[in-house]
Amino acid sequence: MATGRSVDSARFYAQQLPVNAPCILYNGSGIYDYQQETFIYTKFLPASCRQYAEKVFQRFPNVGAQALTTTTLFGVGNHQEVEKYMAMEHIDFVPCQLDEIEQELLKLVFVAEEEELPAIQEFLLSQNLEDVSFNHSGQVYFEMLPKNINKGAALELLCRSLEIPMSHVVAIGDFYNDLELLKAAGFSAVPKNAPDDLKQLCNLTVGDCNHGALADVVEFLEQAWE
């Protein structure tokens, strides 16, 4: 399982599947073993990320952000904006100021109205920040991650540790934060509601996310290897 979610937010899915391997979380900033209840890999944002975020809040006062540590999801900036979208996903957060967070951050997720997000994205990219990476992870989310961190890089690290060839990996993803994951896997698939440019990169397009896309991939693989 590879997701942008935190340990607690992804736990339900890890238990329901259930998974039998460590999970890629925080869009690649952490790899967590739910069987052992421990991180096997973490990569934290540099301290400079807080200065970058404060510039965003000053320029775009309506913007909020999720600040994620290994234990807690904090809401910073415009708390009301964070609360609006976290309530939709039934995720709890701790409201605070960014400078009140003592722990290192695994990622920052800027949260804004869909029509405002392109301006925030353009502003951040125009800063030419060399010690962080950015990831478009949803219609209202734009993430700041540690440099060179993404799901694909984490997948390669995990496969090396488990001694699994990348050619044996099958991946499915539906948005731009899955791009590197899909490129890294030996076989890649997307649901039909994924962006068209992702479809062009993948080996297989299956049904809609909400109508058995993963089951379609499993069925395809079973038929291909009968």
* Secondary structure class of 160 (helix, strand, coil): helix
Query: 3-state class of 214 per DSSP?
Result: helix
In this structure, the answer to whether residues 74 and 136 fall within a common structural domain is yes
Per-residue confidence (pLDDT) for residue 88, from 0 to 100: 75
Note the pLDDT of residue 74.
96
With respect to residue 160, please indicate whether it lies within any of the assigned structural domains: no
Q: What is the pLDDT of residues 53-86, one digit of tens each?
A: 999 999 999 999 999 999 999 999 998 888 888 7
Which residues form the domain of 4?
A: 1-42
The one-letter code for the residue type at 174 is: D
pLDDT at residue 27, as a whole number: 96
| pLDDT at residue 225, as a whole number | 79
User: From the CB of residue 27, how many other CB atoms can be counted at a distance below 10 Å?
Assistant: 27
Domain end: 146, 174, 194, which one?
Answer: 146
- Together in a domain, 141 and 173: no
Domain with 210 in it: what CATH number? 3.40.50.1000
What is the domain count for the chain? Answer: 3
Q: For residue 89, give the CATH number of its domain.
A: 3.30.1240.10
Cis peptide before 18 (omega within 30 of 0): yes
Give the model's pLDDT for residue 211: 87
- At 89 the pLDDT is 76
Residue stretches of the chain with pLDDT short of 70: none
**Which pLDDT does position 224 carry in this prediction?**
85
Please tell me whether residues 137 and 189 are part of one structural domain: no
In a shared domain, residues 29 and 62: no
Q: Coil, strand, or helix at residue 187? A: strand
153 in a structural domain? no
Predicted local confidence at residue 53, as pLDDT: 97
Domain co-membership, 100 together with 62:
yes
Give pLDDT, residue 66.
Answer: 95
pLDDT at residue number 210: 85
DSSP state of 55: H
**Residue 157 lies inside a defined structural domain of this protein:** no
In whole angstroms, give the CA distance from residue 145 to residue 108.
Answer: 7
Q: In this structure, is residue 159 part of a structural domain?
A: no
CA–CA separation, 223 vs 63, rounded Å?
Answer: 47
> Which domain-ending residue is among 146, 177, 195?
146
Same domain, 136 and 180: no
The answer to the question of residue 53 being in a domain is yes
| Region class of 136: left (phi > 0), else alpha (psi between -120 and 50), else beta | beta
Q: How far does Cα 13 stand from its chain's mean position? A: 15
The per-residue pLDDT for 187 is 96
Statement to judge: residues 101 and 19 lie in one domain:
no
CB proximity list for 131: less than 8 A, separation 6 or greater: 46, 48, 147
Residue type, 37: E
Asked if the structure places residue 158 within a domain, the reply is no
